Structure 1
Amino acid sequence: MSDLFQVGLSGLRAAQTQLSVTGQNITNVNTPGYSRQTAIQTTNPANLTGAGFMGNGTKVVDIQRIYNQFLTNQVRSTTSAAAANEAYRTQIEELNSTLSSTASGITTGMQNYFGALQTAIEDPASLPARQLFLSEAQGLAGRFNSVHAQLSTQNRFINDQMTTVAQQVTRLAQSVAGFNDAIAKAAANGAAPNDLLDARDEAIRQLSGYIGVTVVNQDDHSINLFIGSGQPLVIGKEASVLQAAPGLADPSRMDIRLVSGNAGQDVTGLISGGELGGLLDYRRDVLDLALNALGRMSLGIASEFNQQLAKGLDLNGNVGGPLFNDINSRDMLDLRSRGRESNQSDASLDVRITDTSQLSTSDYELTFTSDTEFTVRRIGDNRVLGPFDLNAAPGDPNGRYPAFDGLDLSQQPDAGNFRSGDRYLLTPTRSAAQGMAVVMTEPQQLAFAAPMAAQAGLDNRGTGAVSQPVLLGGSGPLDMDALVALTGPEGVSFTYSANADGTGTLELSADPGPVSPAAITIAAPGAAQQFEFTLGGQSFSMGLSGRALDGDTFTVSFNQGGVADNRNALQLSELQNRPVLGKTEGARGFSLLDGYGDLVQRVATFTAQARTESEANQAMLVQATNNRNSVSAVNLDEEAASLIQFEQYYNASAQIIQVARTVFDTLINTMR
């Protein structure tokens, strides 16, 4: 009789446990990361009787969670990838809007700028037209300042976000370490603590949304977490601290340090995945590119226009002054390099720009190998340049003169104070756009006129004609007073002589002065031919067309009062389409407008790719989550059916006990 009671009682206990597990599943249907549980039953050992082995009912041997490690890992990895892409996409969408906006972008400002220049070319003596061009120049500089400010704001936001994310990673890592300790203690009793395991898995999933992690399972049911290339974030019950701190090379940007005990390691370049990885990828691959490209363009515009204006004359007859501020001013130099805090010396490093057409969009890392020698690593392509020597002279046969990519480091105010091992971060273009400014104040100062004018002699018998001279450049700044002193106010003249072999020669007048060469050969009389000559250290280019006859003369005189002259302004307008940027290492180069258009196009392409990848990653995350949920998530319909099933099981087990009681009462009554 006791056997029947034992069987019924074991069934009653098992049914009660099954009902409790089912209730636990139902109540946790909305708990993040919860895996549904099931009670595992087995038959109690049977007893040997005269009639054979008689069963002793059932028992619950374990409460297991329905769990698939592969699907959980898949959810974790897709969470990390989706979070990284979303962080990247959010930032690049903002950048794309900034660069392509007609209200704040550079393209509209450039078009207005060159449009105003074209208006001034049509009437170079008009002060209103000149003032309009000057105003548009100020507007263009303001647009560069504004776009740079917006990108700098984005950089500060990334710094703040990295700080917040690092704190969240540290919090979750400590939570995982705490779960490891609790799980290891609970598992020592021989049963798996399902709720703790679920809570730890959920913490790791949340952690993957912030940073990519590698999970390694241990024998005591704890797990170790690693980031980057194997840097430990959680080892057993010990968690490292992730910190965002100002970078050693660039304090304006946060770097990520992993601190374990008293030791710290910079892991900024090793992190991938999660929101933190997405922010770092965006900053490295897009934001730096945009800042440097924007700065290079502002430097190109300022340098090219200032140089061309210096080749012309303004309405007052003076050599043109700069329109934009000096690209090598003290303020600009101070923004181009920064020494590491660990340097032995506190010497500053001046980086001068000598040729904006050779500038790249890369930053550089400079390392001194002695007190005067150094090498440079171009971060954009990781190429090492040098070695260079601060004491090397121009044209050094060993190529050690300290100049590369349009930069010149030969003039150092702290020369002799550098020490071997000192390191500097060079950012020659990153901050240039923020300092762009118009320094010209009066429209009369715009040098639209050319310094020299040419004409054919009135007594010439041939059809020869010369084009107006174009100033190519010189060994120093244009000095009109010095040129007039050398040649006199009448300038110089050339006389054409016919040679016996059918060629011709342009010879200087009897008093050639400081003009060279003294004679220029015309190889094919009657055909257009370009030639160059030097006057007082300044090189000019002219063209001879038509057929000149023996004795014809051509005069090149100084442009006195060139109020209606727009020849230098025409040279300025050609800068719109002339390839003046990107000529590094023999490249063909591109124009100012093409340079900005290329930046806008590249950012737009990256944005489109980010959108596509975001949609794909979100779809993969949804699919991975659904796959995991199909195995581990609570289904209320199934649990309701189980509830009914175990309720009937409980009632049936209770009925067994009731039957056993009735039989027992009958037996007792029979014995009376």
Structure 2
Amino acid sequence: MSLLNVGARALLTNQVALQTTGHNIANVNTPGYSRQSAQLVTVQGQYTGSGYIGQGVAVQTILRNYNELLTRQAAMAGSVQAADQARSDKLNQLQDVFSGGASGLGAAITDMMNALSDVVHSPTDLTARTVALTRMDETAARMRASAQQIDDLQYTVNEQLRNDVVKINSLASNIAGVNEQIARARGNGQTPNDLLDRRDQLIRELNQYIQTTQVPADDGTMGLFVGGSQPLVLGTTATQLSVSESTSYPGSGQLALYFGRSGGTPIELNPDMLGGGEVAGLMRFSNNDLAEARNLLGRMAQAMGMALNAQNRLGLTLDGSQGGDLFALPASAIGYTSSATAAGSVSYTDATQFAASDYEVRFTGPNAGQVVRLSDGKTTAFTSLADPALQAIDGLSFNLTGSGNAGESILFKPFSGSASNVQALVYSPRDLAAANPVNAAMGTSNGGTLQLLGLQATGQPDPPGLVLPADADPAATPPIVGGVLLEFHAGPPLTYDAYDQSTPLPTLLATGPYVSGQPIDLNGWRITLQGTPQDGDTVTVGNALDPQYGDIYTRDAGNAQALMDLRDVQMFDNATLQDGWAGAMAQVGTRVQSAQYAAALSSAIADNLEGDRSAVSGVNLDEEAARLIQYQQAYQASAKVLQVAQSIFDTLIQTMGR
């Protein structure tokens, strides 16, 4: 009987080994499956007077080929790779908004500024004026279209975040369910390999959306924690996540991930604590990359519009009226705060100083704190709500109307809505203020070589504003000739005196050195002369609307030239208006390249670790085929043992029966 038992055990054992090998082969393409192998042990021999006689073989357990460290490393690397890839994909879409070529915003700005050159050469040509205004309208439309593309991308990201949270909650519930099955199965003393594989695969899938920390429990369940210490899955219980607007700054549109505590207020998870996962990548893209894109576009719209508006207001239309704004722009931006008392707004003062950034006012106490430029962390301290330091930060004026307590803050997004709301305001060609409000004439008795290089209204004296020279009054006694007289003295050194001729006895306004080619600024206008004057040479600057000059202003294009010259004014981080779009493209392109490099690097790391894990846990068909032959032969040999045992037993029975 012992030989029969040995053969039977061997037959059953090799059958289990064959079944296990077949199970491996069947699951060779199953995601997350870990190769299994039958662990064979020798059955304790039976003692006889001749020693221990072996009783064959038995299956001790079905071993799961698994490396816990590699599995966790592969899951974490996959989580980081998912975050980097999600951000890289979205940045590639954002780069399409900041594109070059004839259809790009940069080309529209260039066309708009170049169109003013035709007005400069033919200020009375209504067609040239119409083309210039049309280009301005096209530029505003392209800015709005670019802003809409960013808004559409934001909507896509928000929807993807919500879908990802639904998947996270579903996977967490499934993991909790598998935890319960594993805890029950562990009661029989054996390891439920397939359930463990299923749980590991679910955890890997979960880490594609949000990075988790795994902590095993004594009952075989696995605890999953997110955001550092929040228990997403604890035993057989799964907690739900949600995504909604951040409570830090209501109304700002910023989304946040919330951990739902049972019976408590949801906890807002800091995006910096999420680590990897698609949700973390999308959050970084939304909070950082999209915010910068809006600021780059909005700063360009605000700065360009303010500069053109300011210059056009200084000029004269074909009808002799003072020019108006060319673009409709926000006058100020409100702040977002969760404080009951802190409040304020930000207004725009100097378009050449704008930084593409959001700002945060952080209170350290009543009426005191600091303004933080979020793009680079630069801070400006203030000691009261009326502190002058608040009025000159990057060309912005922070108008705080209410103070917060220590630790409270206000978020300002001064440029996020500028591009969305920019509109062209002037459509009649006659309303383009192409003419200078002042004109200049050389003295008839000048003996030097003075020549007029340029004359324009700047509105930039101290304090700002334009003060036009007075008109002539021939009826006065003695007659008033009007205007401002510049009288030059040969020196050395060369100097000039400026006289206000609005009274019978001219009043000295200013005096200063004269340098050929260097501008002279007075009362909000600037005149540039070249050449060498003789002693007593004069230049008269007059009001262009002075009746003595008639309609000469209609044929003047000085203000159109000043508008066109704005393309060379440094506005955007030392870049000119003409080059501003190229700078914005470069900043976005740098982010794209950095994200692509990070995605490629994390992908390589994740692939290597997954390869290492697969080397331990994956199924190799060649190896399984060899084992299949091995166990088949062993099975056949075991059957032969049974056959021999049966033959011996039959012979023994026949012999004893005689």
TM-score (norm 2): 0.89
TM-superposed deviation, 1:14: 0.8
3-state SS of 2:208 partner = helix
Q: Deviations over 1:557-584 (max 9, x none)?
A: 22243122122212211211210233xx
The letter for the 2-side match of 1:440 is: V
- What is the alpha-carbon distance in structure 1 between the residues aligned to residue 368 and residue 356 of structure 2? 24
Q: Which moved more, 1:306-315 or 1:124-133?
A: 306-315
Select 1:405's aligned residue among 394, 399, 409: 394
The letter for the 2-side match of 1:181 is: E
TM-superposed deviation, 1:301: 0.6
Question: Residue in 1 aligned with 2:181?
Answer: 182
Alignment of 1:125-274 (within 5 A): 125-248=124-247, 249=249, 250-263=251-264, 264-269=266-271, 270-274=273-277
2:469–2:484 contact (8 Å) kept in structure 1: no
- What is the alpha-carbon distance in structure 2 between the residues aligned to residue 512 and residue 581 of structure 1? 44
Aligned length: 641
- What is the alpha-carbon distance in structure 2 between the residues aligned to residue 349 and residue 404 of structure 1? 15
Select 1:568's aligned residue among 559, 568, 582: 559
- What is the alpha-carbon distance in structure 2 between the residues aligned to residue 510 and residue 183 of structure 1? 99
Question: Residue in 1 aligned with 2:340?
Answer: 344
> Does 2:317 correspond to 1:318?
no
Question: Residue in 1 aligned with 2:443?
Answer: 457
- What is the alpha-carbon distance in structure 2 between the residues aligned to residue 510 and residue 625 of structure 1? 87
Question: Residue in 1 aligned with 2:29?
Answer: 30
The letter for the 1-side match of 2:288 is: D
Q: Deviations over 1:69-89 (max 9, x none)?
A: 233234313321322222112
Change (3 A) 1:639 1:192: same
Change (3 A) 1:161 1:251: farther
Gaps of 5+ in 1: 583-588
Question: Residue in 2 aligned with 1:437?
Answer: 423
Select 1:607's aligned residue among 576, 589, 592: 592
1:327–1:353 contact (8 Å) kept in structure 2: no
TM-superposed deviation, 1:309: 1.2
Change (3 A) 1:624 1:518: closer
Question: Residue in 1 aligned with 2:382?
Answer: 387
The letter for the 2-side match of 1:407 is: L
Q: Which moved more, 1:509-518 or 1:78-87?
A: 509-518
Q: Deviations over 1:102-121 (max 9, x none)?
A: 36521111121112112222
TM-superposed deviation, 1:436: 0.5
TM-superposed deviation, 1:388: 4.9
Q: Which moved more, 1:207-216 or 1:303-312?
A: 207-216
The letter for the 2-side match of 1:349 is: G
The letter for the 2-side match of 1:658 is: Q
> Does 2:622 correspond to 1:634?
no
2:183–2:221 contact (8 Å) kept in structure 1: yes
Identity percentage of aligned residues: 32
Change (3 A) 1:503 1:628: closer
TM-superposed deviation, 1:336: 4.0
Select 1:528's aligned residue among 482, 501, 516: 516
The letter for the 1-side match of 2:651 is: T
3-state SS of 1:100 partner = coil
Alignment of 1:323-334 (within 5 A): 323-328=326-331, 333=332
- What is the alpha-carbon distance in structure 1 between the residues aligned to residue 377 and residue 640 of structure 2? 81
Q: Which moved more, 1:616-625 or 1:257-266?
A: 616-625
Gaps of 5+ in 2: 546-550
Q: Deviations over 1:523-549 (max 9, x none)?
A: 6xxx62646464xxx233334543433
Q: Which moved more, 1:362-371 or 1:202-211?
A: 362-371
TM-superposed deviation, 1:324: 0.8
Change (3 A) 1:46 1:302: same
Change (3 A) 1:4 1:489: farther
Change (3 A) 1:623 1:565: same
Question: Residue in 2 aligned with 1:624?
Answer: 609
Question: Residue in 1 aligned with 2:571?
Answer: 580
Select 2:540's aligned residue among 511, 530, 555: 555
TM-superposed deviation, 1:479: 6.5
2:343–2:410 contact (8 Å) kept in structure 1: no
Q: Deviations over 1:43-91 (max 9, x none)?
A: 1111222222211111111111111223323431332132222211221
The letter for the 2-side match of 1:105 is: G
Change (3 A) 1:459 1:39: same
Q: Which moved more, 1:144-153 or 1:440-449?
A: 440-449
2:8–2:642 contact (8 Å) kept in structure 1: yes
3-state SS of 1:575 partner = helix
Question: Residue in 2 aligned with 1:586?
Answer: none
Change (3 A) 1:490 1:38: same
Q: Which moved more, 1:15-24 or 1:489-498?
A: 489-498
Q: Which moved more, 1:99-108 or 1:449-458?
A: 99-108
The letter for the 2-side match of 1:493 is: L
TM-score (norm 1): 0.88
Q: Deviations over 1:467-523 (max 9, x none)?
A: 544333244654659777999674232344556x66555363776689875452446
Q: Which moved more, 1:249-258 or 1:568-577?
A: 249-258
Q: Deviations over 1:394-418 (max 9, x none)?
A: xx5xx4x5552222233x7xx4697
